[in-house]
Amino acid sequence: MRVLSGIQPSGRLHVGNYFGAMRQHLQLQAEHDCFYFIADYHALTSNPSPDDVVAHTLDVVMDYIALGLDTRKTIFWRQSDVPEVTELTWLLSCVTPVGLLQRCTSYKDKVSQGLSPNHGLFAYPVLQAADILLYNSELVPVGADQKQHIEVTRDIAIRFNNTYGEILTLPKEHIIESVAVVPGVDGRKMSKSYGNTIEIFEPEKSVKKKIMKIVTDSTPVENPKDPDKCNIFALLKLVASPEELAEWEDKYRTGGMGYGQAKKRLCELMTDYFEPFRQKRTELEHNIDHVKQVLANGAERARAVARETLEKARQAAGLRK
């Protein structure tokens, strides 16, 4: 099956990104024909500095490769290296009712968080639809927050096909639900925009500092505690073995355990979990040329597919001699 997903280059990736999305992206590689890209055109909708776009793109690429992206099998590229996607965006825009975009909640959410209400941000779902449709994607693994964008993509594809003939493949969404929302160190959803993240490749010392500051309630050491209401436990769930997790659950419910103890173990487990990938990450940092080569190869392979779909869409819409 053709699987496609994109991730915005908005900084170093965090543990929430890993358990909420990347891990599943990496697992899908074994059985499917995967297309993954760095959505740098999308990132421009929040007006980052040009230097940040460059640095963050490389960071995300290195994180993915270090964690196990198979660069020979999976097609991995930078969205803007295949500018055909912007042309398809235009063709799709011309069959997209404004009302459909007005119903998208992410625009309103982002504007209420302080992003500029620019046209790119409003048209963001059309560019996302073009990403998906350009590569004939069948399955799009995304977090629940992206469900509406996949529905919009299907809607736009149906309208295009009704107008011009059966050109575009309708994708199915594949909501990643295996992990609930990963909490950040302040208890809210872990997110770059809340500054409450633990980065995947953060130095051990700094991970420790953050984990030690995780907010807990004031239940005395000797009293029983509810693991389901504890942020430390929610993070332990991601990195502890089932046996060890069961032991911690027991300690919580029995009482006599201090949160400091659980935090200490969480630090160890969290750093151990990503330890096997650290060396690879460091090697990549010292070999940026290789990283750029991976992107260049990916772009070439992606572009071949993109050109074919775009050409069909152009012809169908009357952009022909």
What gap in Å lies between CA 174 and CA 147, rounded to an integer?
9
- Identify which of 116, 108, 113 has the alpha carbon closest to the alpha carbon of residue 148: 108
Out of 73, 192, 229, 280, the active site residue is 192
251 is an active site residue: no
H/E segment holding residue 219: none
Q: What is the 3-state secondary structure (H, E, C) of 45-84?
A: HHCCCHHHHHHHHHHHHHHHHHHCCCCCCCEEEEHHHCCH
**225 CA to centre of own chain:** 33
309 touching ligand TRP, by CB under 6 A: no
Smallest gap from residue 226 Cβ to ligand TRP (A): 32
Build a one-symbol-per-residue string for 81-120: x at contacts with ligand TRP by CB under 6 A, - elsewhere. ----------------------------------------
Q: Is the CA virtual torsion 310, 8, 74, 128 positive or negative?
A: negative
What gap in Å lies between CA 134 and CA 84, rounded to an integer?
8
Smallest gap from residue 309 Cβ to ligand ADP (A): 24
Smallest gap from residue 46 Cβ to ligand TRP (A): 11
For the residues of 232-249, what is the DSSP string, one character each? HHHHHHHHS-HHHHHHHH
Smallest gap from residue 176 Cβ to ligand ADP (A): 7
187 touching ligand ADP, by CB under 6 A: no
Residues in CB range of 173: below 8 A, 6 or more apart: 139, 140, 142, 146, 147, 150, 151
Residue whose beta carbon is closest to ligand ADP: 20
* Complex with ligand ADP: residue 147 or 290, whichever CB lies closer: 147
193 touching ligand ADP, by CB under 6 A: yes
What gap in Å lies between CA 79 and CA 4, rounded to an integer?
12
Footprint (CB under 6 A) of ligand TRP, residues 23-62: 39, 42
192 is an active site residue: yes
- Identify which of 171, 180, 140, 246 has the alpha carbon closest to the alpha carbon of residue 20: 180
Smallest gap from residue 16 Cβ to ligand ADP (A): 3
Q: Are 46 and 193 a contacting pair, CB within 8 Å? A: no
**Using CB under 6 A, which of the segments 17-25, 50-58, 252-260, 282-290 binds ligand ADP?**
17-25
* Complex with ligand ADP: residue 179 or 212, whichever CB lies closer: 179
* Complex with ligand ADP: residue 143 or 187, whichever CB lies closer: 143
The one among 143, 258, 261, 264 contacting ligand ADP by CB under 6 A = 143
> Which of ligand ADP, ligand TRP, none lies near 192, with the C-beta cut-off 5 to 8 A by kind?
ligand ADP
Number of other residues whose CB lies within 10 A of the CB of residue 73: 12
Half-sphere exposure of 106 (CA within 13 A, CB side): 21
52 touching ligand ADP, by CB under 6 A: no
Among left, alpha and beta (phi > 0; psi -120 to 50; other), residue 136 is left
Any idea what DSSP says for residue 35? Answer: E
229 is an active site residue: no
* Complex with ligand TRP: residue 62 or 132, whichever CB lies closer: 132
10 touching ligand ADP, by CB under 6 A: yes
- In the complex, the residues that contact ligand ADP under the rule CB under 6 A are 7-8, 10, 16-17, 20-21, 142-143, 145, 179, 181-182, 189-193
The catalytic residue positions are 110, 189, 192
